[in-house]
Amino acid sequence: MTTKGTDLLIREAREGDLSALIALFAADGLGGHGDTNDLAAYDDYLSAFRTIQSSPDQTLYVAELSGEVAGTFQTMITTSLTGRGSSSMIIEAVQTRSDLRGQGIGAAMINFCIAEAKGRGVRLVQLTSNALRKDAHRFYERLGFRPSHLGFKMALK
């Protein structure tokens, strides 16, 4: 896959990518997820990575540019009785390194998800975005997503 004249590789994340992924999430001040580069938290990330990796319905990806992690996203396939038992793809944790934004990496990652979903016969691709991320909302709408539902959350920890 190519973006603006450079080779962009989208592949499944490996354990060796974990430090770069943690740094991506820790650099996101708006997300409010409490991500940190503190080494004391590494085992939490490693445990989550291994849970995702062992799930047949979840995949964590990286976008690699010139051998470095430039972005990441996760997909989950869910099947419900609604829609006559159809499956949906949920795209989660989309991040592009701040110094590489505007180069087509995010669009390449989302288009990869859409192609994967079509290839798997998925009925619907959906994602959520923090209400404060107005630029991200415009980005997703440019790619063909439409706001359709109101989401609710309840923090338990």
Q: What is the pLDDT of residues 82-137, one digit of tens each?
A: 989 999 999 999 999 999 999 999 999 999 999 999 999 999 999 998 888 888 99
Q: Answer yes or no: is pLDDT of 6 > 70.
A: no
Which H or E element spans position 20?
helix 18-26
What are the boundaries of each domain within the chain?
A: 2-142
Please list the helix, strand and coil fractions of the chain in percent, rounded to the nearest 5, in that order.
Answer: 40, 25, 35
Q: What is the pTM of this model?
A: 0.90
Which pLDDT score is estimated for 1? 46
Q: What percent of the chain has pLDDT over 90?
A: 74
Topology of domain 2-142 in CATH is Aminopeptidase (3.40.630)
Q: Please say whether the beta carbons of 92 and 52 come within 8 A.
A: no
Confidence of residue 31 (pLDDT cuts 50, 70, 90): low
Which pLDDT score is estimated for 32? 60
Q: Are strands 58-65 and 87-96 parallel, antiparallel or unpaired?
A: unpaired
Q: Answer yes or no: is pLDDT of 143 > 70.
A: yes
2, β-bridge pairs: 7
Residue partners of 6: CB distance under 8 A and separation at least 6: 65, 66, 103
Q: Are strands 68-79 and 87-96 parallel, antiparallel or unpaired?
A: antiparallel
Q: What is the pLDDT of residues 39-64, one digit of tens each?
A: 888 999 999 999 999 999 999 999 99
